[in-house]
Amino acid sequence: MNIFQYPVQAEWAALQQRAAQQQAQDVELRVQQIFEDVRQRGDAALLDYARQFDGADLTAGLRVGPEELAAAAAQVPSELQTAIRQAHANILRFHKAQIPQEERVETMPGVTCWRRAVPVQRVGLYIPGGSAPLFSTLLMLGVPAKLAGCPEIVLCTPPQKDGSVNPIILFTAQLLGISTIVKAGGAQAVAALSGGTDSVPAVDKIFGPGNRYVTAAKQLATRYGVAIDMPAGPSEVLVIADESATPAFVAADLLSQAEHGPDSQVILLSDSLSMLEQTKAEVARQLQELPRAEVAAQALTESRAILLRTPEEMLYFSNQYAPEHLILAVKNPEQLAEGVTNAGSVFLGHLTPEAVGDYASGTNHTLPTNGYARNYSGVSLDSFLKKITFQRLTPEGLLNVGPVVETMAEAEGLRAHARAVTLRLEALAGGEE
């Protein structure tokens, strides 16, 4: 990690640049081709892509069968099963507190308005497989989807080379009560979810992370009338550390994000040069011990350690950067946290590593990246709900609000709007209801 000492604000924008991603034009073109292929050939295209990208010959079909699903638990160590169940309980507890209450409001005598939360009817959950199958993400998406009451939940995840699905993902799906599981990954899975095939039901909203092809596919899906959870990109963390922080802790937090992928980004801010130098040394030492050291090392080439003067200046930099994860490794984290305006999820104090949010504290780890924390929230129960408003007027209500509407509609030149009220008022005056 390069150390930058007291950069002037004019230099901050360059320091806040995310790692350069593979340029989107050729990615988007390839994704468009995949979409068209899946829409034309359906399951046949998905089977071809499974052979091409996953090395899997899905002779038994694209769906996970009941026998494969039932056999999964026996392949998952009991210690891991216990950990997953505890994480599930914590995530459920946190998201259950988000259930909205329906309240009826009388805005004028006789005019009652209310809002009802209704689940998205058909949702697709995309869970990456490969070298790091993200069963934790299935918890983060499946818990609120079930809690919201979504009637149809479709899980897509890439097959392993033998045509099976990672048993930990299947165990987690079983725990959640998700049984529609499709062996499809990449942009082709998103294409199938957005248009439907014989084996893959079309959905109304798609959730889940993925590589640049999956990200481009989700954005393309919106052109077909399918919603997505949020724009997503490589994982990132920004750590604000003062002299009270422990360099080994900070280094571990930085590396926990760097090991996600070569295009992940980590940024360290401190008002102590000694802290930056010690942490840099710790990063180099701990890196050698990681199984994914090569991946993390690539990510560190686009990462930065920056010396600033005060906690307030560090917070100002962070709010401009709008990190996916923000760690406040400082003496008074609660006080500094009051000033956070742009971040996906915040971790306070020296004993709160970002990893707990990734797995089991209860908060959701599906968060906005690439600066989208300026205008997007992370996934929550709300992500799986639609809010529909209702209103009802009594005769008294129409008499009260009707003239207001007539006056406003006439002022905008919308005579039919005014007439819709006037006719009813005249009927009331004539004794009709």
Domain ranges of the chain: 24-228, 233-377, 394-429
Which of 95, 236, 259, 325 does the annotation list as catalytic?
325
Mean pLDDT across the stretch 256-264? 91
Considering only CA atoms, which of 205, 263, 258 is closest in space to residue 233? Answer: 263
Its pTM stands at 0.94
325 assigned to active site: yes
Extract the annotated binding site. Answer: 126, 188, 211, 235, 257, 260, 325, 358, 412, 417
Extract the annotated binding site for substrate. Answer: 235, 257, 260, 325, 358, 412, 417
Please name every residue paired with 119 in a beta bridge, in sequence order, or none if there are none: 385
Q: What CA–CA distances, in Å, run from 375 to 143, 230, 323?
A: 24, 10, 12
pLDDT of residue 263: 87
In this structure, CATH architecture of domain 233-377? 3-Layer(aba) Sandwich (3.40)
Extract the annotated binding site for NAD(+). Answer: 126, 188, 211
Q: What CA–CA distances, in Å, run from 30 to 24, 25, 33, 52?
A: 10, 9, 5, 14
24-228 and 233-377 agree in CATH topology: yes
Q: Token pair of 145, please?
A: 């989807």
Instruction: Write down the H helix ranges in 42-77.
Output: 43-49, 66-71
pLDDT digits (tens, 9 = 90+) for 351-402: 999 999 999 999 999 999 999 999 999 999 999 999 999 999 999 999 999 9
Which of 324, 354, 406, 433 does the annotation list as catalytic?
324
- C-alpha 309/C-alpha 83 separation (Å) is 42
CB 187 within 8 A of CB 26: no
| CA dihedral angle for residue 315, residue 320, residue 323, residue 326, rounded to 10 degrees | 10
CATH label, 24-228, candidates 3.40.50.1980, 3.40.50.300, 3.40.1360.10, 3.40.50.920: 3.40.50.1980
pLDDT digits (tens, 9 = 90+) for 275-333: 999 999 999 999 999 999 999 999 999 899 999 999 999 999 999 999 999 999 999 99
